[in-house]
Chain A
Amino acid sequence: MQDRGIWFWAIILPIIFTVLFISVFTSGLNETESRQVILSIVPGYTVMFVFFIMISMAESLLKDQKIGMVARIASTPLSNHFYLLGKWIPYMYIVFIQIVILLLFGKAVYDVPMEQPLLLMMLAIFLTFMVTGIGLALSVMVKTTNMGIALTQVIALGGALLGGLWVPVDMMPEFLQAVSRFMPQYWAHQGFQDAMAGTLKMADFMKVSLVLLGIGVAGFILALLRPKQ
């Protein structure tokens, strides 16, 4: 939390990647095609980069373990889920701010549309909830920071690849398209893209929200089930 470096990873690096890849992928394209690519990359890289918060979460919880803070808190009348909530909430703030800044950056620099701002806002909250929920589960399961970094990379990059954040889903082979449906990144990306373009239907919004919220809740429950010692 006290680590200011977190803002470099959360904001600066994603912006650099976004700018870089937009310039690569739009070169030689006409105006309409460029718009399309930008509309995919801005939310896509946002969704990809929010997952890296899991490294900070794992680091923080492991440090608490290491210095005996977890044991110490377990000796107080306060129950385990208050501790987990206390750890969780600050990261929700960070991720939410991260999403807002990255989307506003897209708006300011590339003039991406934001046709359904309310839905977009709610999706941002649900994405925040999901990512930090998975992060919490991961944090209580890993034994070392390196394991946390490795797993985060698998989840963030694997999910980005399979979830269509790099290559549009309809350009992927058919069996991979089926796999995409199992990636939380896919749902978040589709939801964001549609809400930005103004084509997000209520039924789809509900579906995406349920997926995101469901995974977030599952993460918290998994974290709770894990014994303290």
Chain B
Amino acid sequence: MTRLLTLNGIYKNYGKKTVLSNISLQVSKGICLGLVGPNGAGKSTLIKIIASIIQDYRGELRFSDSVRIGYVPQDISLEETVSAKDNLQFFGRLYGLSGKALKERISEVLKEIGLEKREKDKVQTFSGGMKRRLNIGCAILHEPDLIIMDEPTVGIDPQSRQHIFQMVDRFREAGKTIIYASHYMEEIERLCDEAAFIDHGKIVENGTIQQILQKHAVPSIFVKGGNALPDKINEFGSVAAKNGGYIVQTNRPLDAMEFVLQFYKEKNDQLERLELVQPILEDVFFSLTGKELRD
């Protein structure tokens, strides 16, 4: 795969505080890279460096050829007192579009973000989801090659979220590269090929989602039945109560299941559920960044 972007030893301070420390990362063309990490980890700062908003950092940032960037800010950065169309017009001009080309792009984008019927309405009358969609729309007018989205789905309903997912899918089909910051691990699993975990300004893990899951996620089984599990189950791994049953985290899930089955057979008791739980990225997130609160 061709390389689009290389970050090499990036450092960023705010005053005495080091916000990013030795960030090195490669982004291949056409992939979706998830950027994950707790509040204050440094995701937005890294994104702003890539979008050339922050220019006073140390380290190397290199694009392999001329790349048009679309930046979707974490905040809803729109002029709320004017219409959706006016906002698109404003940003279109900033990106150097004008005349007929601008007009065409605006109507394409309005359709893309599902706001063609509300184009004339003031942004302040929009729902959270509509604002989020317009926030994206304002960043894609110039048909960027790299779209950087900083938590684009915060505070919206499932319909808008689904719409945004489908937009990301379409961007990918069109061959665009995407950097997607989010706290929602299921979004990263759904949308991204690769992920970089950031904590306290450092990359603590990165690779394809598959690699990361294989490396960090401990498989587990879920047991629900009439009986408390015998102490011997602890030999397989850690046990925690969940949803009226037990989650057993273990590297030997099949053995653990066999043990539970045997136990219930001997008791001749009712076993409600026994299942293998697929590891998910959320577990990796906690195992990499811990559970204590940030910021």
Q: Which residues of A contact B227 (CB under 8 A)?
A: none
Q: Which residues of A contact B138 (CB under 8 A)?
A: 72
How far apart sit A73 and B78, CA to CA, in the bound complex (Å)? 11
Taking the complex as formed, is A210 at the interface, i.e. its CB lies under 8 A from any CB of chain B?
A: no
How far apart sit A69 and B76, CA to CA, in the bound complex (Å)? 9
Q: Which residues of A contact B91 (CB under 8 A)?
A: 76
Do A71 and B94 have beta carbons less than 8 Å apart? no
From 52 to 80 in chain B, residues with beta carbon under 8 angstroms from any chain A beta carbon are 52-56, 69, 71, 73-79
> Which size class do A's interface residues fall under?
10 to 19
Given A2-B81, A229-B48, A75 and B75 touching (CB < 8 A)? no
From 191 to 229 in chain A, residues with beta carbon under 8 angstroms from any chain B beta carbon are 227-229
CB distance from B54 to the nearest CB of A (A): 5
Chain A 60-91 near chain B by CB (<8 Å), digits 1 or 0: 00000001110111111110000000000000
Given A67-B75, A69-B77, A78 and B94 touching (CB < 8 A)? yes
Do A75 and B56 have beta carbons less than 8 Å apart? no
- Please list 29 pairs of residues, one from A and one from B, whose beta carbons are closer than 8 Å in the complex, sorted by A's number: A67-B76, A67-B77, A68-B76, A68-B77, A69-B77, A69-B79, A71-B48, A71-B77, A72-B71, A72-B73, A72-B138, A74-B52, A74-B53, A75-B48, A75-B51, A75-B52, A75-B53, A75-B69, A75-B71, A76-B91, A76-B94, A76-B95, A77-B94, A78-B94, A227-B56, A229-B53, A229-B54, A229-B55, A229-B56
Q: CB-nearest residue of chain A relative to B80?
A: A67
Residues of B within 8 A of A (CB): 48, 51-56, 69, 71, 73-79, 81, 91, 94-96, 138
Q: Which residues of A contact B81 (CB under 8 A)?
A: 2
Q: Which residues of A contact B53 (CB under 8 A)?
A: 71, 74-75, 228-229
In the A-B complex, list the 10 residue pairs whose CB atoms are closest, starting with the nearest. Answer: A68-B75, A75-B71, A68-B77, A76-B94, A68-B73, A75-B51, A72-B77, A74-B53, A2-B81, A78-B94
Do B74 and A68 have beta carbons less than 8 Å apart? yes
Q: A77: which of B48, B79, B95 is its contact (CB, 8 Å)?
A: B95
Q: Which residues of B contact A73 (CB under 8 A)?
A: 94
How far apart sit A176 and B240, CA to CA, in the bound complex (Å)? 79
How far apart sit A77 and B69, CA to CA, in the bound complex (Å)? 10
Residues of A within 8 A of B (CB): 2, 67-69, 71-78, 227-229
How far apart sit A71 and B73, CA to CA, in the bound complex (Å)? 8
Q: CB-nearest residue of chain B relative to A69?
A: B77
How far apart sit A228 and B48, CA to CA, in the bound complex (Å)? 12
CB distance from A72 to the nearest CB of B (A): 4
Q: Which residues of A contact B54 (CB under 8 A)?
A: 229
Q: Which residues of B contact A67 (CB under 8 A)?
A: 75-78
Q: CB-nearest residue of chain B relative to A74?
A: B53
Q: Which residues of B contact A69 (CB under 8 A)?
A: 77, 79
Extra 20 A-B pairs, beta carbons < 8 Å, given A67-B78, A227-B56: A2-B81, A67-B77, A68-B75, A68-B76, A69-B77, A69-B79, A71-B53, A71-B73, A72-B71, A72-B77, A72-B138, A73-B94, A74-B52, A75-B51, A75-B69, A76-B94, A228-B53, A228-B55, A229-B48, A229-B56
